């Protein structure tokens, strides 16, 4: 399972530095693909969500959802791609993450294997990605339904928390080094949708490194992290209002850091955590 780590942070940074307008360029084919290789967990999950799971013949090492991916061959990780294994599987479509994998897949594209890219930047972009993959895989109708359900969930969350009392939030990504997320990241967008005020929103870096003194100075009402171990460090500063009021809260990293149709559920969980802070 993907958790907060230096690896994940590197991959997220690569994603946020890429241009969203490039996500769907190099459209590779006019006929639906029947033998698809997915090179990232979020792509794998989207393909299965739109009904293209039976057409997926291989995935990357981190793909672990849904359970049906377990027996599939693993042909890539975050830094390498097994070109020989890919060629032996004879795919008619490879779907990759442009900013992290374009160089890796170039030799395959040069050999004539169709390559498509997925690169969602904003929360709403994911719906477009789903419809795009639906066109490539021949699941246009189901992809449209999944995309509309996703859009509807985001709209409902936005409407529900539009007038919620602002809550100052520090979103912690890992401990060594201590890192966070700015306004433009998926997590930053989720905080804003829930009515939170991200204390690192204005950072020029998508995933800034910082020191504990900055958090102490900002004194957020809520500190969020993916597990209790990462939150434990803050208890050494009982003057923090997040510590005083027991607002060291966890979120599901698999739902918030992996941009998929399950992301609204991750945002919903985050919103509920902020509601706890408002209620106390």
- Among 171, 269, 270, 252, which residue's Cα sits nearest to residue 215? 171
Give the chain's domains with CATH numbers. 20-156 (3.40.50.1980), 163-279 (3.40.50.1980)
Which pLDDT value is given to residue 93?
97
Higher pLDDT, 58 or 10: 58
Does position 254 have pLDDT exceeding 80, yes or no?
yes
Asked if 165 and 134 count as a contact pair (C-beta separation under 8 A), the reply is no
The percentage of residues in the chain with a pLDDT greater than 90, rounded to a whole number, is 78
Q: Is 199 left (phi over 0), alpha (psi -120 to 50) or beta?
A: alpha
Q: How sure is the predictor about 14, in pLDDT bands with cuts at 50, 70 and 90?
A: very low
* Average pLDDT along the chain: 89
Which pLDDT value is given to residue 79?
81
* Backbone φ and ψ of 38, nearest 5°: -105, 135
Does position 13 have pLDDT exceeding 50, yes or no?
no
Across the range 104-124, mean pLDDT stands at: 92
Q: What DSSP element (H or E) covers 67? A: none
- Among 159, 183, 179, which residue's Cα sits nearest to residue 224? 179
Q: DSSP label at 35?
A: S
Which pLDDT value is given to residue 140?
97
**Position of tokens 């004194």?**
219
**pLDDT tens, residue by residue, 62-77:** 999 999 999 999 999 8
**pLDDT tens, residue by residue, 207-252:** 999 999 999 999 999 999 999 999 999 999 999 999 999 999 999 9
* Backbone φ and ψ of 275, nearest 5°: -65, -35
Q: What DSSP element (H or E) covers 178? A: none
Q: For residues 237 and 211, give the distance between their C-alpha atoms in angstroms, rounded to a whole number.
A: 14
Across the range 182-203, mean pLDDT stands at: 95
- Among 19, 242, 49, which residue's Cα sits nearest to residue 150? 49
- Among 135, 257, 136, 248, which residue's Cα sits nearest to residue 190? 257
């Amino acid at each position: 399972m993907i958790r907060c780590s230096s690896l994940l942070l590197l991959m997220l940074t690569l994603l946020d530095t890429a241009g969203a307008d490039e996500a769907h360029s190099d459209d590779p084919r006019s006929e639906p693909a029947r033998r698809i290789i997915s090179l990232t967990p979020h792509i794998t999950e989207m393909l299965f969500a739109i009904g293209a799971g039976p057409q997926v013949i291989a995935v990357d090492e981190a793909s672990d959802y849904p359970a049906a991916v377990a027996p599939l061959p693993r042909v890539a990780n975050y830094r390498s791609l097994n070109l020989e294994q890919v060629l032996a599987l004879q795919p008619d479509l490879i779907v990759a993450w442009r900013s992290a994998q374009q160089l890796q897949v170039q030799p395959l594209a040069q050999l004539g294997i169709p390559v498509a890219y997925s690169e969602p930047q904003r929360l709403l972009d994911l719906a477009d990605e789903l419809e795009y993959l639906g066109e490539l895989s021949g699941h246009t109708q189901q992809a449209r339904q999944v995309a509309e359900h996703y859009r509807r969930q985001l709209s409902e969350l936005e409407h529900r928390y539009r007038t919620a009392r602002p809550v100052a939030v520090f979103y912690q990504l890992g401990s060594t080094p201590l890192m966070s997320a700015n306004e433009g990241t998926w997590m930053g967008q989720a905080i804003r949708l829930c009515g939170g005020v991200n204390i690192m929103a204005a950072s020029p870096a998508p995933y800034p490194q910082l020191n504990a003194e900055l958090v102490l100075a900002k004194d957020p009402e809520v500190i969020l992290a993916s597990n209790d171990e990462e939150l434990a460090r803050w208890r050494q500063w009982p003057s923090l209002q997040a510590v005083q009021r027991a607002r060291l809260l966890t979120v599901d990293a698999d739902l918030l850091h992996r941009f998929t149709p399950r992301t609204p559920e991750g945002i919903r969980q985050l919103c509920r955590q902020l509601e706890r802070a408002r209620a106390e």
